[in-house]
Amino acid sequence: MKKVERINVIMRYINNRAHFTISEIMREFNISRSTAIRDIREIEAMGMPLVAEVGRDGGYFVMHNSVLPDVRFTNHEVKALFIAFMATRNQQLPYLKSRQSLAEKLLGLISENQQDDLVLLNQILLFEGTNPHNPDLLDLSDLPHPMLETLIQTLLVDRYLFITIREEKTSTSYPIYLLHLYREKSAWLIEGFDLKEEKKKIIPVDHLTDVKPYPEKKRMSKKKILEKISKQEEAINLVLELGPKAIAQFKKYHPLKVSISYTNPYQTTALLKTFIDVKKHEELTEMSNWLLFLGTEVKVREIPGEILEGLQEKLRLFCQ
């Protein structure tokens, strides 16, 4: 990192902290003590009001009501921000209604030459979901399901939720503790712990019709929730090792409750662990068909006998 860039980053690092020391700056930016002291002095000379504290636990803090200098972006930073904005097109992300105003503010901060570069990038680069014959035309709606922003606003206050989901002809309401909110296969999904049935569930955000905080009196503690999840994970009865082709098939299609963990940095091998309820005939049939879909680059570590029998029967019929 160049000196000017490093000092700019250090200024914002220390401005976001109530207190900092030279040792912290050395560790955070991997610089020597003399360089850290020199950078701090230059930052003080630029007008940042730093106050030094003497003593064993001494250090520095920024005087209250101080104002940082104007933000200045390098050419690479401007391009990185602009491309990030472009890549969000057709991704149905929350708060996309604010993206246009952000882009306009970004353009207002940069020079005409930098603006010309961004116009050219916009003409050249295409991302998933855009029409190559008309890049300004998206294949899908650019806005996510309206419940997504409502859900996030509620989550910022509380992760214990009382949700209502739309089913075929009725609606069902129940309490959950939200573990993760994530996007997969062009859909936003909730991974939550059902406080009523006491098990993990995957819920599509598109199915939500209402969400609100769950009353505190009826809640299960976070510690108890994690303990129950841990015990349920110990009941895993399907463990597979996936090779590159099987991983590619997995990405094309997989049941919502199944996920993989990569076992090397190149993401060419992975481990799949899940629990299959062998008492549910439909789930067994679906899993047998899906395992055949994964192909031959699958090594079985553990599998329920019922699924193995189903696979053997399907292969027997196929060979007839």
pLDDT, tens only, 287-301: 888 998 999 999 999
Pairing of strands 298-302, 260-262: unpaired
Specify the range with the lowest mean pLDDT, choosing from 14-18, 36-40, 71-75, 249-253. Answer: 71-75
Q: Which CATH architecture has domain 3-62?
A: Orthogonal Bundle (1.10)
Q: For the segment 35-52, what is each residue's pLDDT rounded down to a tens digit?
A: 998 998 888 887 777 888
Burial of 190 (0-12, 13-18, 19+ CB in 10 A): buried
pLDDT at 158: 93
Element counts in the chain: helices (H) and strands (E) = 11, 13
pLDDT band at 234 (very low <50, low <70, confident <90, very high): low
Q: Mean pLDDT, to the nearest integer, of 120-143?
A: 72
Of 83-87, 238-242, 276-280, which one has max mean pLDDT? 238-242
Query: What pLDDT score was predicted for residue 144?
Result: 78
Residue 253 — very low, low, confident or very high, per pLDDT cuts 50/70/90? confident
DSSP string across 273-308 = EE---TT-HHHHHHHHHHHHHH-S-EEEEE--HHHH
**Choice among 101-110, 115-124, 245-254, 261-270 with the minimum mean pLDDT:** 101-110
Cα 134 from Cα 153, distance rounded (Å): 35
Closest CA to 262 of 280, 283, 246: 246
Q: How confident is the model at residue 194 (pLDDT cuts 50, 70, 90)?
A: very high
**7-21, 93-107, 184-198, 248-262: range with lowest mean pLDDT:** 93-107
**CA 21/CA 59 separation, integer angstroms:** 4
For residue 159, name the pLDDT band (cuts at 50, 70, 90): very high
Q: Please, which pLDDT band fits residue 61 given cuts at 50, 70 and 90?
A: confident
The CATH number, out of the four listed (2.30.30.520, 3.40.50.1100, 3.30.930.10, 3.40.1000.10), of the domain defined by the range 147-233: 2.30.30.520
Predicted confidence (pLDDT) at residue 269 exceeds the cutoff of 90: yes
Q: What integer pLDDT is reported at residue 66 of this predicted model?
A: 57
Mean pLDDT along residues 84-92: 80
Across 79-93, average pLDDT: 82
- By DSSP bridging, strand 171-184 and strand 160-166 are antiparallel
3-state SS class at 180 = strand
**Residue 9: count of CB within 10 angstroms of its CB:** 13
pLDDT, residue 246, reads 94
pLDDT for res 6: 86
Of 63 and 214, more confident:
214
* pLDDT for res 180: 92
Cβ–Cβ < 8 Å for 174, 196 = yes
Q: Which of 47-51, 117-121, 300-304 has the lowest mean pLDDT?
A: 47-51
Considering the entire predicted model, what is its pTM?
0.59
Higher pLDDT among residues 172 and 119, named by residue: 172
What is the pLDDT at residue 115? 85
- Domain residue extents for the chain: 3-62, 75-138, 147-233, 238-319
